[in-house]
Amino acid sequence: MNQSFGIPLMGLATPIGTGREAVAPALFAGTRAGLVPRDSLVPGRTVHVGAVGAPLPPIPDGLDLYASRNNRLMLAALRQIEHGVRAAIRRHGPHRVAVVLGTSTAGILEGEEAYAAVRRDGAWPAGFHYRQQETASLAEFVARALGVTGPAYTVSTACSSGGKAFGSARRLIRAGLADAVVTGGADTLCRMTIGGFASLEAVSAGQCNPFAAGRDGINVGEGAAAFLLTAEPAEVNFLGLGESSDAHHLSAPDPEGGGALRAMQAALADAGLASSDIAYVNLHGTGTPLNDSMEGKAVHALFGAEVPCSSTKGMTGHTLGAAGAVEAAFLWLALHREHNPEGFLPPHLMDGKADPAIPPIRLAGRGERLAAPDGAAAMLSNSFAFGGSNVALLFGREDRS
């Protein structure tokens, strides 16, 4: 087996809670409370979105150019692991701590609000700066907030961004360019993105229903997750990464799921594991007809109907560039024995029956658990993006007995 990389710390802000202690019980119980109706995002239409309701921390003094909801979401997650990051800085030096984060919308919300002010008042708001909506702002802001001087950059590959950031973070450590990396991702609700999905007729009329026969689209969500990645083993470890680029279509996935299957196979090969070693799969599961159909084919081809699977987007909505990171955080919670001592799996939530046209996969129900709650386990999470950018992350833990 290849070397695993430890993930000793994780922080998150999601529509179902902020912080590990709040999110874990909501995740394992299965809640739809994070999906709320909003009538201010798409003209003439009410849509359900996954909104983070917790208060967010202010931007630190001296970093006003980075003032955006996206950066504040990331800061909320970062504050939960900051003590460990500070310890890494003291141990290795600020030049040996890197930052690699994923995002898609970045600070577009602030740009929308500023442009509305121009239309209304005839002038740009005094506090607005173009830098607030730059994609690169996320990693640069975190590096400055932490005072680290190692490599710092943002990955933006649409809905695979937060997952692909892990691959880039691991490569920095393997290349000897960093000893520890702050990685993860954040994305924020904004009108442009939701309007774009609505124009593609991809937004659900209600709450999304991944893999259901009557599914009709996504709910867009927002969220952030931050991790500390090191070369030393931890309770939860990063075991494998699989990436593929099928470039089937600008916005539609390969209907046969070829790229998705190759990404999962590559993650297993990277970790030196077989499909039978996987205890749970977090599906990309957006709730669109095409995505769920192709992912069902790929998952069935690799795992049959034996491995428990679920799409947690039925709780959070699709957090876009943050999805790979937020759903990796759900794997971390499921594997971490302190936060999940009874070994619960995130349940699959949908209204109605599973689509019989999709090859059978085992959708986890409420209360389903790992066969050995205290034993070794490995779990996989999928993220697939426009343009055929696919990533599969594989996390695991050692046997404690």
Query: Taking Cα atoms as reference points, which of 168, 388, 366, 392 lies closest to residue 278?
Result: 392
Residues with catalytic function: 159, 284, 318
What pLDDT score does 1 carry?
44
Which CATH number does the domain housing residue 91 bear? Answer: 3.40.47.10
Over the Cα atoms of the chain, what is R_g?
20
H helix or E strand, kind and range, residue 385: strand 377-385
CA angle 223, 112, 327 (to 5 degrees): 15
| Two tokens, residue 36 | 């709320």
Q: Token pair 């798409």 is at which residue?
A: 42
Rounded Cα gap, residues 13 and 53, in angstroms: 9
Parts of the chain with a pLDDT under 50: 1
pLDDT score, position 401? 65
275 lies in which domain range?
5-397
Within 103-230, residue ranges assigned H as helices are 108-121, 137-146, 161-174, 191-199
The pLDDT assigned to 2 comes to: 63
For the question of whether the overall pTM of this predicted structure is more than 0.85, the answer is yes
DSSP 172: H
Q: List, for residues 33-91, the tens digit of each pLDDT value.
A: 999 999 999 999 999 999 999 999 999 999 999 999 999 999 999 999 999 999 999 99
Q: How many domains does the chain have?
A: 1
Give the number of other CB atoms < 10 A from CB of residue 117: 15
Alpha carbon 60 to its chain's center? 25
How far is 379 from 305, CA to CA, in rounded Å? 16
Phi and psi dihedrals of 388, rounded to 5?
80, 30
The token duo for 40 is 């201010």
